[in-house]
Amino acid sequence: MNTKGKITGIIANLVIVETEGRVAQNEICYIKHGQERLMSEVIKILGKKAYIQVFESTRGLKVGTEVEFAGHMLEVALGPGILSKNFDGLQNDLNKMEGIFLKRGEYTNPLDLENEYEFKPLAKKGDTAQAGDWLGEVTENWIPHKIMVPFKFNGQYKVKSIEKKGKFKIEDTIAVFTDADGKDHKVSMIQKWPVKLPVKAYKNKPRPFKIFETGIRVIDTLNPMAEGGTGFIPGPFGSGKTVLQHNLSKNAEADLVVIAACGERANEVVEIFTEFPELDDPRSGRKLMERTTIIANTSNMPVAAREASVYTAMTIAEYYRAMGLRVILLADSTSRWAQALREMSNRMEELPGPDGYPMDLPAIISNFYSRAGFVYLNNGKTGSITFIGTVSPAGGNLKEPVTESTKKAARCFYALSQQRADSKRYPAIDSIESYSKYLEYPEIVEYLNENIDSKWTDNVHFAKDTLLRGKETFEQINILGDDGVPIDYHIIHWKAELIDFVILQQDAFDKTDASSSFERQSHMLKKVVDTCKMDFEFDEFEEVSAYFKKVINLYKQMNYSEFKSDDFVKFEKAVEKTLKERRVDKTEDKETFDEEKKPETKKSEEQKEEQK
């Protein structure tokens, strides 16, 4: 028998309910408003009064209306059929809803109960099993979707029976388990899990040690993300947060993409809806949408469901991680979620923390970030959730509570700079302000040098130093004037510009330049670093910018050309030729250039020539 109650007060979407029995914190309940049932969540209990936040508009609600408690927290349904779906924050399938406008109180089943899947058992009768163990497998789109022992199972179970290979609907019983007390439990392909609790069905969570390729040079080369790592992108509006996130979802080296559009623009979600089914996944050759799930709670949808949306997304990501997949989870924007918390805290008349946010905001945020990570599953396989969230700091001021709390939780910081955005230097990540803690992990450094290039991290640090020196000298030039500084200053400045234009800047809307493989990045970084290490001679400072612009332009044409294509080689040769015009060979430096790098590149070019 579920507890019932009656409404005694309404303040915007906070409703006070007089209850007649047991209620639990975060329990779900439904308000029976005429024919509509409005979903809500308990957020505070005072004596017999439960304070609930309604996930819908509260227009027209009256005192005395009946409320029914559901006896569980907010849960999501996990099973085959989640991929390619467009859910709202409460995991309703948006495509199943009728009409143009969202109807209040309309909830749809997240999964397709009628679909049949070809089930292949992986466990057998008599096996012992625990939560998260793989029972069997079905194919979802092209991903091997593991059917797992429900995460809610506690302790050791024995497989009493399991179905043989065959077609099943997701609600069909596929196995029966016996627990330690000898009680039987039927299991289907669906399981439910409360979103606010992390799924812990894995053996351990080591420090991330692998690099996570995103195809974005300023991230991969200068501030790399680790597989199972966390990062955040704060930036004022118009600095390109969303474009960057979309680009990440398109090109990142993940098996699955989960996108939580939390309190952001609807047209941005529509862009994903429209483009992803058309875009080819560079890794599988299939359509991007086949490996993507979208949780959309746009800014005009009910505020309370915003919080739910990020948790729903995280839980779905955890579910797929437990299958041994690499998941990238993107949330845009976590600030909107924090604002939803603030609105509610305000209505409950809690004492506010900084900027009116609830006092426990830092704890909530770091708790959430800690659910990401690289894990070893109980069967020894690995899975990961790489999480990147955006933050929309008020007024672009990074000293606000959401940014500061996130900074403590996330390991990578991608600062978007208004100045770079204004001068259309995209992606507008400020490479000097940004950092990746992973670049300090010895296991990551080793991984990079082993898998990409033995000189990789040296080159990266050299590039970073050059950028910093370039910034400093540019400030000097601005203070002292063009002719008030030695010509060398101009050269240093322009070397930094070279790195900026060729490595940092990337055209997200150009087919070729949008994504760059590590192989290509390694090639370009080596080239550019070599160029920066060269000595040049100029008589007048005016010549410096003109010359470097020419070099940059040729390098950019390389970026626009298919890697190692005829055009690419052509522009690469043109770069070499232009560099020869001004380059001074200092004999003592000759070794480093000529013996180590030059012959290598020349040789490869010759090879290409021969191929033609």
Partner 1 sequence: MEQDTRAFQRIYTKLFQLTKATISLRATGVGNEELAIVDGRPAQVVKIIDDIVTLQVFQGTEGIATDAEVVFAGTAPVLKVGDDLTGRFFDAFGRPMEGSREIMGKETEIGAPSVNPVRRKQPSEFIPTGIAGIDLNNSLVTGQKIPFFADPDQPFNQVMAMVALRAKADKIILAGMGLTNDDYLFFKNVFDNAGALDRIVGFINTTENPPVERLLVPDMALSAAEYFAVEKNEKVLVLLTDMTLYSDALSIVSNRMDQIPSKDSMPGSLYSDLAKLYEKAVQFPDGGSITIVAVTTLSGGDITHAIPDNTGYITEGQLFLRKDTDIGKVIVDPFRSLSRLKQLVIGKKTREDHPQVMNAAVRLYADAANAKTKLENGFDLTDYDERTLEFAKAYSEKLLAIDVNIEMEEMLETAYLLFAKYFSPEEVGMKQEYVVKYWKKN
248 φ, ψ to 5°? -60, -45
Binding flag, residue 428, partner 1 (CB under 8 A):
no
Q: How far apart are CA 208 and CA 386, in angstroms?
A: 10
Q: Which of 35, 46, 47, 99 binds partner 1 (CB under 8 A)?
A: 99
Please identify which residue in the block is written with the tokens 């939780």: 409
Reduced to 3 states (helix: H, G, I; strand: E, B; else coil), residue 49 is: strand
Shortest distance (Å) from residue 173 CB to partner 1: 33
Shortest distance (Å) from residue 548 CB to partner 1: 11
Q: Write each residue from 284 to 313 as x if it is in contact with partner 1 (CB under 8 A), else as -, in one continuous string.
A: ------------x-xxxx-x----------
46: which strand partners? 49
Q: Which of residues 376-395 bind partner 1 (CB under 8 A)?
A: 392, 394-395
Q: How far apart are CA 223 and CA 245, in angstroms?
A: 16
Binding flag, residue 422, partner 1 (CB under 8 A):
yes
In total, the chain counts a number of residues equal to 612
Binding flag, residue 497, partner 1 (CB under 8 A):
no
Binding flag, residue 356, partner 1 (CB under 8 A):
yes
Binding flag, residue 343, partner 1 (CB under 8 A):
yes
Q: CB-wise, 27 or 88, nearer to partner 1?
A: 88
Contact stretch for partner 1 (CB under 8 A) within 173-181, 207-215, 220-228, 417-425: 417-425
Binding flag, residue 63, partner 1 (CB under 8 A):
yes
Q: Which of 113, 359, 363, 546 binds partner 1 (CB under 8 A)?
A: 546
Q: CB-wise, 376 or 474, nearer to partner 1?
A: 474
Q: How far apart are CA 506 and CA 497, in angstroms?
A: 14
Please identify which residue in the block is written with the tokens 């606000």: 400
Q: CB-wise, 273 or 593, nearer to partner 1?
A: 273
Contact 235, 416 (CB under 8 A): yes
Shortest distance (Å) from residue 294 CB to partner 1: 9
Count of alpha carbons within 13 angstroms of residue 558, beta-carbon side: 25
Distance of CA 192 to CAs 327, 359, 562, Å? 20, 31, 46
Binding flag, residue 8, partner 1 (CB under 8 A):
yes
Contact 82, 293 (CB under 8 A): yes
Distance of CA 122 to CAs 164, 204, 423, Å? 10, 22, 56
- H or E, element range at 535: strand 535-536
Binding flag, residue 607, partner 1 (CB under 8 A):
no
Rg (CA), the chain: 28
Q: What does the block give as tokens for 160?
A: 């009493």
Contact 247, 277 (CB under 8 A): no
Binding flag, residue 60, partner 1 (CB under 8 A):
yes
Q: CB-wise, 311 or 555, nearer to partner 1?
A: 555
Contact stretch for partner 1 (CB under 8 A) within 90-98, 157-165, 310-318, 375-383: 90-98
- Residues sharing a CB contact under 8 Å with residue 275, sequence separation 6 or more, in sequence order: 288
Q: Which of residues 39-58 bind partner 1 (CB under 8 A)?
A: 57-58
Q: Which of residues 190-229 bind partner 1 (CB under 8 A)?
A: none
Q: How far apart are CA 39 and CA 57, in angstroms?
A: 10
Q: CB-wise, 59 or 165, nearer to partner 1?
A: 59
Shortest distance (Å) from residue 130 CB to partner 1: 38
CA 275 to chain centroid: 18
Binding flag, residue 339, partner 1 (CB under 8 A):
yes
Report the side by side order of strands in the sheet with 184-187: 128-129, 157-162, 175-178, 184-187
Binding flag, residue 21, partner 1 (CB under 8 A):
no
- Residues sharing a CB contact under 8 Å with residue 30, sequence separation 6 or more, in sequence order: 37, 38, 39, 40, 67, 68, 70
Peptide linkage before 565 cis (omega within 30 of 0)? no
Q: CB-wise, 57 or 382, nearer to partner 1?
A: 57
Binding flag, residue 557, partner 1 (CB under 8 A):
yes
Peptide linkage before 427 cis (omega within 30 of 0)? yes
Binding flag, residue 101, partner 1 (CB under 8 A):
yes
Q: Which of 1, 35, 46, 100 binds partner 1 (CB under 8 A)?
A: 100
Q: Which of 2, 512, 517, 545 binds partner 1 (CB under 8 A)?
A: 545
Contact stretch for partner 1 (CB under 8 A) within 313-321, 334-342, 436-444, 463-471: 334-342
Q: Which of residues 467-496 bind partner 1 (CB under 8 A)?
A: 478, 481-484
Shortest distance (Å) from residue 116 CB to partner 1: 25
Q: Which of residues 238-257 bind partner 1 (CB under 8 A)?
A: 238
Binding flag, residue 538, partner 1 (CB under 8 A):
no
Shortest distance (Å) from residue 299 CB to partner 1: 3
Binding flag, residue 103, partner 1 (CB under 8 A):
yes
Q: CB-wise, 2 or 512, nearer to partner 1?
A: 512
Binding flag, residue 237, partner 1 (CB under 8 A):
yes
Under rule CB under 8 A, how many of the chain's residues touch partner 1? 76
Q: What does the block give as tokens for 60?
A: 């027209």
Q: How far apart are CA 530 and CA 527, in angstroms?
A: 5
Q: How far apart are CA 191 and CA 588, in angstroms?
A: 69
